[in-house]
Each structure stands twice: as C-alpha cells, then as structure tokens.
Structure 1
Amino acid sequence: MNELRELLLEVALEILREEETPLALRKVAERAGKSRTAPYLVFGEQQDGGGLIGLKLAVATRGAEMLHSALLKEITSVEDARVALKGATNAFFTFVRANPRLFRLMFGPEVAEVSGSSTNDGELMIKHPEFK
C-alpha cells in the first residue's frame, strides 16, 4: 500500500507541475496506470469527496516536507545567521516559483479548512503579485 501511495503522490505532484487543470483522482489514477478506485483505497472513501481531500492533504504534506528540506539545507549549511537567513529566503522563493500550484494547495483555503489551520497568511501570500 505504501508503494501505491508514493506512486499516486508523485503523479499528483507531476500533474500540479505540468498542467493547469484541477487535481482529480481519476486523472491521477489513470496517469499512474491504476484503477479508478486505487486512490480511494489509499486516501479515503468517495463519500463527501473524502478521497480527493485525503489526496490533497497528502500532497500538501509532501510539499511541506519538500519546502522544509530546502529551508533546512540552507539554514544548516552555514554558520553565519545572516547568510543562512538569506539562503533560506532564496530557497523559499525558489520553491514557490518552481511549484506555484503546490504552494497554493499547501497554503490555500481548501486544505486549511479541512486541517483546521488559519488561512490568513497563506491567502495573503497567494494573492501577492509575485506568486501569480
């Protein structure tokens, strides 16, 4: 089941990077070469959009891990705090520019609503002209 989960997450990330269409379970399953029901087995039941919400939460979590890794690499690679801060800031903006749809998913209202997080900061960042 872990291999299927990883495959579906990687395909979902590819779709976010390569396409402008909304993330959809059917598209993820088809592109992964799996049955339409495979994402529901991994990310939740079909009722109330559970599978899609589960997928989006998992993709947002993976995105947070990717961003954390990029920031941590910059922060721990130097001893000078100013250089580390500049590197982390550059890493953050590089991540956002390379993954705009993933960033919107991570900090947008849809994931924040189901995860119980506040969306104010994320919504402000998403609306900033630099990220459009």
Structure 2
Amino acid sequence: MTGYLTTHVLDTARGCPAEDLRIELFRIEGDTRVKLKTLVTNDDGRTDEQILPAEDFKLGEYELVFHAGAYLDACGTPPESPRFLDIVPIRFGMSEASHYHVPLLLSPFGYSTYRGS
C-alpha cells in the first residue's frame, strides 16, 4: 500500500464541518520545519485534495497547523484578546506507508485529535 495523508475539521461547538479553515503542512527535519503546502477546508470540513498525496509521501515527522482563531473569528465566535485557541499545531510521525488521517475536533476552548482511517 502506498501512503498518503488526509484530514478534516469538525466544529464541535456548532455541530458542523469547519469550512474555510486554513491548514499548513510542515515536514520536520531535525530542528527545521519545512513548509510543504497550505490548504483550506471545503464545506465538508475536508481539503479538496489529499494533504500529502502518495507521490509526495515520505516516512517521517510532520506538523499540521490549523488556523483556528481566524476560523472562529469568521464564524462570529465572540472574540477574546488574546483568543484562547488561535493556532493549533499537531505534530505526528508516519512510520509506515499507509493512509494517515489526522482530524481535528475543534471548539473555542478545546480540541482533540486521533489517528483516523
């Protein structure tokens, strides 16, 4: 099986997919973060393409950076200064060539993730 990476974001406070949330993907190389791409979620809270497709897949350590604060602002969530959750980084490793699905369950005051399928 060839590896690839996907994600989706669910707004658990509003009970819907998180649309128009910016996500950045970085590859971690030692102490360096190498930006690979930036994507935005669609109306289903998913990206229109795989975050890391099979042809670009490499084993290693990665980081997804979810721009939660800008999304919450756009949704009309009452602002705080500073916002409790603004940037949500999730650093994870991919150790086998398979499908990695790293979703984000988001609310203004908390989040969770897991390795999905």
Q: TM-score range by the shorter chain?
A: under 0.3
**Taking structure 2 as the reference length, what is the TM-score of the superposition?**
0.27
Q: Which structure is higher in RCO with an 8 Å CA cutoff and minimum separation 6?
A: 2
Structure whose CA Rg is larger: 1
